[in-house]
Amino acid sequence: MIAQPLTVLDDHYQELSIDGKDVIQGLNQTPKTLSPKYFYDDHGSQLFEKICELPEYYPTRTEAWILQQYADEIAEITSCCELIELGSGSSTKTQLLLDAYQKIADSCRYLPIDVSGGILKTSVLQLQEKYPDFLIHGLLGTYEQALVHLESNYLQSRMLFFLGSSLGNFNPEKCDSFLNQLSRTLQPGDYFLLGVDLQKPKDILEAAYNDSQEVTAAFNLNMLSHLNWRFQGNFDINLFRHQAIYNEFDNQIEMYLHCQKSHWVSLKSLDLEVFFEVGESILTEISRKFDLATMQKQLEEKGLKTLKTWTDEKGWFGLILCQVK
């Protein structure tokens, strides 16, 4: 079932539409691709929370360590402002920031944005109970939809933040387009806090995306189940196999679903039928690994001046705080 456009579900929660045009385009091209946003139905979000706890998966705990050390400093630099998070998920790490802002202001406004309705609604209600003096309102939709919505609903000075190195899911062209849209959404004086996964040895990276418990495999395959539910599809997940590899030339993890048997797939809501050859693959995600100095230069070109950066002791992950010129 396709989500209905911008429907107010309750006082804390709005839904933005997902029309599936990107699915039609991605499955009709060679090689086939799907957007990583389709990882995140409710079950996919639960699986990702499990991934974040795996011993091989370093990004979440490393970024959380940086926030534990420096959230107070971030709040001191920006002062009280509207807090907007892209891809909020369960907002677990975000609470480190909310705790810091609670120390400097009696009330703040927090807007979590995610494509998974169940986890978004649950986290909003839990956070509203934990932070009763904060104004919390969730938006269900994609990053692009949310930025358009925010651009036309400017309330006060803002800090928009994008944690977890989700920027790495965009190829260079989409990354450039996203940063252009973001710079249009923010006003002079607003802030942008970005989490980026940094370049490191191949064995560490591939282990993080091919975990021994195969939770990441289940997460990847669940994308097909999500498409079945959302678009009345008939993907058989038993006919696909997960693999993640590190492309050292492009400095990116690439996640694939490999077809094990030739067959047809139908997505009725999209009026789409697709044939899969045995051995054919769907690219479901890239996760680019960044150089901190290069990323700062790219942000500077978009009018986002770096105020400060923080990393962990190993230099595996970085946070960049920028301000619009």
Element (H, E) at 259: strand 252-259
How many Å from the N-terminal Cα to the C-terminal Cα in the chain?
43
Indicate whether this model's pTM tops 0.85. yes
15 or 89, which is more confident:
89
Q: What is the pLDDT of residues 152-168, one digit of tens each?
A: 666 678 999 999 999 99
Count H helices and E strands in the chain, helices first: 10, 16
Tell me the DSSP string of 70-103. HHHHHHHHH-S-EEEEES-TT-TTHHHHHHHHHH
Average pLDDT over residues 233-238: 98
Cβ atoms 290, 196 nearer than 8 A: yes
Residue 136 and residue 139: Cα distance in Å, rounded?
10
Element (H, E) at 144: helix 143-151
Q: How many CA atoms lie within 13 A of 124 on its CB side?
A: 26
Check pLDDT > 50 for residue 9. Answer: no
Residue 127 and residue 76: Cα distance in Å, rounded?
22
Average pLDDT over residues 61-79: 97
Who contacts 184 (Cβ-Cβ below 8 Å, separation ≥6)?
147, 151
Provide the pLDDT for residue 15: 63
Element (H, E) at 181: helix 172-185
Lowest mean pLDDT among 23-32, 49-58, 74-83, 150-159: 150-159
Check pLDDT > 60 for residue 268. Answer: yes
